[in-house]
Amino acid sequence: MNYLNQNNNIITTSQFIALGYSKALLFKYEKAGLLARVSHGVYSSKDVVVDDLFEIAKRSNNIVVSHESALFLNGLSDRTPFIHSVTIPSGKKLPASIKDKCICFYIKNELFKTGLIELKTTFGNSVQCYNPERTVCDLLRSRSRIDEETVISALKNYVASPVKDLNLLSDYSKQFGLEKKIRTYMEVLL
């Protein structure tokens, strides 16, 4: 229970075992009502509201919060996404237990960690997320899968942001092959 309190009331089966306990004890705790199963391999304290985004991000080190969810965490959107967006490296698979809980995007391994930061969810839990500049690039790369209004609103909010880094955005646009698109949007919006 101390471990749960220190880790935002979430524990995975592998963490439970690493603490020296058996799976059988974990199932006994669940059956006794001391723990609640959130999803496959993830448990929480009973009667605690679970942070969905934190729970998804906790499932794998290869999951990074991105696109609309990153927009929200970076303060570039006021709308909380109904379904969270994540990015994983090409060649990796999203765990089957969370496929229905989020929208998944894939990226080349060499670009996966570009713009990676840690941000807090609305519940105060830290998750791996992409910075605003990377998020803008992701939105433009994935325009066919994202609402046009969301993209335009995000670009306007980015341009109005006091913490924007146009040099970093330019660097990322080169890495992602978006130089022309980014330049066009920035010329219109700036």
> How confident is the prediction along the chain (190 residues), in pLDDT tens digits per residue?
788 877 778 888 988 999 999 999 998 999 998 898 887 788 888 777 778 898 888 778 899 999 999 999 999 998 888 899 999 999 998 877 777 789 999 999 999 999 999 999 998 889 999 999 999 999 999 999 998 899 999 999 999 999 999 999 999 999 999 999 999 999 888 7
pLDDT of residue 72: 96
User: Exposed (0-12), middle (13-18) or buried (19+): which is 53, by Cβ within 10 Å?
Assistant: buried
